Structure 1
Amino acid sequence: MDLPRIFTIREGDHRIHNPMTARKLAVLGEALRLAPGSRMLDLASGSGEMLCTWARDHGITGTGVDISTVFTEQARARATELGVADRVEFVHGDAVGHVTDPPVDIAACIGATWIGNGVAGTVELLDRSLRPGGLMLIGEPYWRRTPPDEQTAKDSHATAIADFAPLPELIGRFQQLGYDVVEMVLADQDSWDRYAAAQWLSMRRWLDRNPDDELAPRVRDELTTEPARYAASTREWTAPGLHHGHPAVDHLDL
Structure 2
Amino acid sequence: MARGLGHAARVSEACDHEAILTAARSRRTALRSRAIDDAYRDPHTEELLAQMLDESDDLVFAKPVIAARLGDCAGAHGDAALRRAIRVSGPGSRDVRCASLLALAKRIGPLATPDLVDGLTTPDGVVKDYAVHGLAGAGDDRAFEQVLRHLRSVLRRKRPSQSQVVASALSYLARHVSDRARRSDLVAFVRRHWDALDQAEWFAELWPDAAPGGPDPDEVRAPSDAAIQEWVRRGLFGPLPPPPP
What is the TM-score with the length of structure 1 in the denominator?
A: 0.25
Instruction: Name the structure where helix makes up a greater proportion of residues.
Output: 2
Q: Determine which structure has greater relative contact order: mean sequence separation of CA pairs < 8 Å that are 6+ residues apart, divided by chain length.
A: 1
Rg larger for: 2
Instruction: Name the structure where strand makes up a greater proportion of residues.
Output: 1
